[in-house]
Amino acid sequence: MRNFEVRAATPADRLPIYRMLELYQHDLSDIWDQDLDCHGEYGYALDRYWDTEGCFPFVAIAAGKYAGFALVD
């Protein structure tokens, strides 16, 4: 596929990653013992991937749209 790229995420990618991560956590909620918070979200310490040395966020883009993400420690 020619219109596919994986790139380092920018702060502008944070909200789309957060939303994809919420869907991911929901899909695994039958396996992982986790509850929703008071806002109806699973929540995740996502900011550390921009704030902590050695943590790297990536996004996958296909045909100009978000297709996935990777959070690397």
pLDDT at 1 over 60: no
Question: Both tokens of residue 32?
Answer: 């992982």
Q: What is the 3-state secondary structure (H, E, C) of 4-64?
A: EEEEECCHHHHHHHHHHHHHHHHHCCCCCCCCCCCCCCCCCCCCHHHHCCCCEEEEEEECC
* pLDDT tens string 25-68: 887 877 877 777 788 777 788 999 999 999 999 999 999 999 99
Question: Both tokens of residue 11?
Answer: 């702060």
pTM to 2 decimals?
0.83
Burial class (CB in 10 A: 0-12, 13-18, 19+), 59: buried
